Amino acid sequence: GHYVLGPRGPRGHRGRYGPAGEQGPRGPPGLQGPPGRANDGDEVAAVLLDRAEDLIRKTRAATQAHDAGAAILLGQIRVLEHQLGVVSNEEEMALTAYQELLSAQGQLGSEMHTAKSKAGELLLQGRSAEVAQRDTQYRIKEEEHSFFGSKQRIGQWSGGRRRARVGLPAVALCLGPLVATALGTGVGG
């Protein structure tokens, strides 16, 4: 006979594994692999020496850059120290100049006060001289009028025109406010 096989049945659930067995004996050695490239010791040493020299060059360059940076910083520190010394000297000079300026300002103020008082005195002298001159002119005219018996008014001349006389006191009267303004006192100052 023949065995008739039916369709395959469903897969069953997994059972439990048993304990691991003991390690078996070592197997026989395998076949030898293909031969590799021959390793030359001189060649490897040359490569290692090149790498070492490259590292030394990089280290020297980093050291030189560090030294150059330190030298630049030291130079800048020296320049700053010099500038601070110069600034300190300039501050002392500025303080001295400021004190001299204050003393000169005080001296100028006293000289201005003296000049104002002298200008006031000159102005008063000019006004009194102008008054005296007018008084003298008036008396002369009065005497001429009484002496000649003329009917001319005082201050008029024969042509009927008046003649203005400007003396030093009149100039002082005109220049008085200008002098006061120039001296910084202003009117009534």
Residue-wise pLDDT tens digits, 27-53: 999 999 888 777 788 888 899 999 999
CB-based contacts of 106-110 (< 8 A; 24+ apart in sequence): none
Neighbours of 185 (CB within 10 A): 17
Select the more confidently predicted residue: 49 or 125: 49
Q: Is residue 152's pLDDT more than 50?
A: no
Q: What is the pTM of this model?
A: 0.28
- Whether residue 167 contacts residue 130, with contact meaning beta carbons closer than 8 Å, is answered with yes
Tell me: pLDDT of 154 over 60: no
Give the count of beta carbons closer than 10 Å to the beta carbon of residue 172. 19
Amino acid sitting at position 1: G
Above pLDDT 90, what percent of the chain? 18
Tokens found for residue 33: 């692999």
**Are 127 and 173 spatial neighbours (Cβ–Cβ below 8 Å)?**
yes
